[in-house]
Amino acid sequence: MEKTRQNLTLVVEQDLLLAARKVALDQRTSVNQLVREYLAGLVEEPSRRRLARARLRKAFETGLVEIGDRTWSAKISMTVERT
């Protein structure tokens, strides 16, 4: 089943549109396709992060990942010049 598409009107600066057209031409695509791909990535990114966190959590719970006994300390030194 094909998804229904909606039209979208954008107002952008002329320089930005010209630059986007050059990018699209270099990638052998259209500005429209670039915008669609950007929006799809923007929407999918949180889902991918949630999935990655869930997989990591499961790996820790099942013991597939070991955490060593390391401690970290930070030593900060500051020098003040007086004039």
Q: What is the domain partition of the chain in residue ranges?
A: 14-62
Q: Which of 8-17, 26-35, 48-57 has the lowest mean pLDDT?
A: 48-57
Query: Among 5, 59, 65, which Cα is nearest to 32's?
Result: 5
Give 65's pLDDT tier (boundaries 50, 70, 90): low
Q: First CA to last CA across the chain, in angstroms?
A: 75
pLDDT of residue 75: 67
Report the C-alpha gap between 48 and 50 in whole angstroms: 5
> What tens digit of pLDDT does each residue of 32-60 get?
999 999 998 888 887 878 888 888 888 77
Give 26's pLDDT tier (boundaries 50, 70, 90): very high
41, 66 contact by CB (below 8 A): no
For tokens 């990535």, name the residue: 41
34, 24 contact by CB (below 8 A): yes
